[in-house]
Structure formats: structure tokens, C-alpha cells
């Protein structure tokens, strides 16, 4: 599989996953024009997308959803709790398929397992995605978990089997606490239903490196005001300095590198 973040942050989120037979988008928080332009740079003109998976209904994850789904003529997958909140963006002709967290489903040769994440949304999800093979031991698995206030035991168990993990590293706690955000917003971000700090991301990735199959970590959803890419990278590297895990940062407003598993 190949994975690339088209953008990651409060201004818009969208991730492309490509296997031998399948092309998935996770979220569509950018405009139709920007998403298709970036897809064309990777996939060529008139790119085929087989499905769009939605993590949750916040605007930076669904802003372009209706227009993108109609332009690419692809179905939308969302949790049962999230799907009703997508309706204002749709015109009725889009195909919306719902799932329950913990209920896996296949899109061509990719097997998707949604799992619950703690965030202040209706029914937010992360995803593990595996390329199905006749030989289960050879299956490669990736995960995306952003917009979560804490990492639960269930989430850790989901991520342990993944070679590549795209994990939120939203803020530096000191920058947030000492910054200009109103106190109620600071408390929301710091809560168990808010966003994951650099330190929490580093601790989680250390756990996965010691006990799981982690080889590549991509830090996602960095705050513009309460984080810096260099700071996030240095904090997480401090936890992983004696491992062989490769660490990268997904840019807020442009495409990341292409990662292969």
C-alpha cells in the first residue's frame, strides 16, 4: 500500500490510500478543486477513487465531501452516528453506506476496521486498513487515528498490528497552556474528548514500537498556533530515539511524502 496525506490540520484533512486494486480517501475536508488537483498530481487526470471514509462530522473533515463524492462518483462510508450530520452537504444522489465501530468491511482488496476514538463528535472513528492476501501473515496493515483526546487500551490494541500509524500530535502542552486561546477552549483541547499532545503521541508510539509492528509513524493534525513541526518531531523522537521507527510530519496545507508499506 501507498499512503499520502493531502493535508492535515484544522484547515482541512484528507488522506489517500492506494493498493494494487483500490483507492480510498479518508475524509474530504478540503475543497473539491484542491482535492482533485492533488489527486491528479499522484494518480493522473480523472482519478478513480473507490470510496471515501469519514472519521467524524467536524467541518475540517467533511467540507468538500458532497462535491468530491459527486465529482468522483464514489460511495461514502460513515458510522451510523455520523451519517445524519453529512446530509446538509449531500444532494440525495450520493451513495452513503453506514457501519458500526468494530464492524469491518471490504472495499475491493482492502479490509477496513473502524474503531471508536474519544472526541467531542457524534460517533468518531479511526481506521485500520489491511491489504487482503491469501497469506494472512504477509498482510500489511496501516492505521489512522486523529482527533482523539486520549489513547484507550482498545486503540492501542488496534494499532499494535500496524506497520504504519498516522497518529495525531496536535499540540505542545506548554504552548497551549501559555497561549492566547480562551480558557474554555484550552480545557476542551486538553480533555479526554479533545486532541492528543506531542507527549502523548510519543508515549503511544513508544508503546507500539516496543510491543507491536510499528515501522513508520506519521504525525498528523498539528495545531497552527500551539505546535511547530520541528517541536513535534523532536518530542516524539525523544521517545523513539533508540528504535528503528521512521518518523515524519504531515504538513498542514500541502501534500506529505508518499509512504509505502
Write the pLDDT tens digit of every residue in 59-92: 999 999 999 999 999 999 999 999 999 999 999 8
- Distance, in Å, from the CA atom of 108 to the CA atom of 66, rounded to the nearest integer, reads 22
Cell numbers representing residue 259 in the block: 509512504
Residue range 114-172, pLDDT digits in tens: 999 999 999 999 999 999 865 655 679 999 999 999 999 999 999 999 999 999 999 99
Residue at grid coordinates 451513495 = 95
C-alpha grid cell for residue 96?
452513503
CA–CA distance, 109 with 111 (Å, rounded to integer):
7
CATH code for the domain in which residue 81 is found:
3.60.15.10
The reported pLDDT for the residue numbered 139 is 78
Average pLDDT, the chain: 96
Instruction: Give the rounded percent of residues in the chain with a pLDDT score beyond 70.
Output: 98
Question: If you write DSSP's letter for every residue of 27-48 in order, what string do you get?
Answer: ---S-HHHHHHHHHHHH-SS--
Can you give the pTM of this predicted structure? 0.96
Question: pLDDT value at position 46?
Answer: 87
Which is nearest to 130 in space by CA: 148, 116, 147, 110? 110
Domains identified in the chain, total number: 1
Kindly report, residue by residue over 215-249, the tens digit of the pLDDT. 999 999 999 999 999 999 999 999 999 999 999 99
By residue range, what is the domain housing residue 26? Answer: 2-260
Q: Can you tell me the mean pLDDT for 41-67?
A: 97
The three cell numbers locating residue 48: 478513480
Confidence check: pLDDT of 203 > 90: yes
Give the mean pLDDT of 105-116. 97
Cα 77 to Cα 37: distance, rounded to the nearest angstrom: 22
Give pLDDT, residue 137: 56
Q: Looking at residue 132, what is its pLDDT?
A: 80
Which string of b and e fits 45-58 if b means at least 16 CB within 10 Å?
Answer: eebebbbbbbbbbb
pLDDT at 253: 93
The C-alpha cell that represents 34 in the structure block: 484542491
Amino acid at each position: 500500500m501507498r499512503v499520502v496525506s493531502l493535508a492535515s490540520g484544522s484547515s482541512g484533512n484528507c488522506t489517500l490510500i492506494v493498493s494494487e486494486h483500490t483507492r480510498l480517501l479518508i475524509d474530504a475536508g478540503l475543497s473539491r478543486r484542491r482535492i482533485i488537483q492533488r489527486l491528479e498530481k499522484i494518480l493522473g487526470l480523472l482519478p478513480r477513487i473507490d470510496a471515501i471514509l469519514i472519521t467524524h462530522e467536524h467541518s475540517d473533515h467533511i467540507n468538500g465531501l458532497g462535491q468530491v463524492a459527486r465529482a468522483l462518483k464514489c460511495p461514502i462510508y460513515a458510522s451510523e452516528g455520523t451519517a445524519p450530520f453529512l446530509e446538509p452537504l449531500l444532494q440525495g444522489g450520493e451513495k452513503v453506506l453506514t457501519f458500526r465501530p468494530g464492524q469491518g468491511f471490504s472495499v475491493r482488496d482492502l479490509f477496513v476496521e473502524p474503531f471508536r476514538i474519544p472526541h467531542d463528535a457524534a460517533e468518531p472513528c479511526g481506521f485500520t486498513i489491511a491489504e487482503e492476501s491469501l497469506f494472512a501473515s504477509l498482510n500489511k496493515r496501516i492505521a489512522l487515528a486523529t482527533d482523539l483526546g486520549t489513547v484507550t487500551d482498545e486503540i492501542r490494541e488496534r494499532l499494535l498490528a500496524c506497520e504504519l500509524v498516522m497518529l495525531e500530535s496536535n499540540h505542545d502542552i506548554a504552548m497551549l497552556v501559555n497561549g492566547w486561546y480562551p480558557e474554555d477552549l484550552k480545557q476542551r483541547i486538553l480533555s479526554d474528548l479533545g486532541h492528543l499532545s506531542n507527549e502523548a503521541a510519543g508515549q503511544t508510539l513508544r508503546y507500539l514500537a516496543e510491543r507491536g509492528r510499528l515501522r513508520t509513524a506519521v504525525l498528523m493534525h498539528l495545531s497552527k498556533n500551539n505546535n511547530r513541526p520541528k517541536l513535534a518531531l523532536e518530542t516524539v523522537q525523544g521517545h523513539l530515539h533508540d528504535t528503528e521507527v521512521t518518523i515524519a510530519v504531515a504538513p498542514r496545507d500541502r501534500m506529505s511524502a508518499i509512504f509505502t508499506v
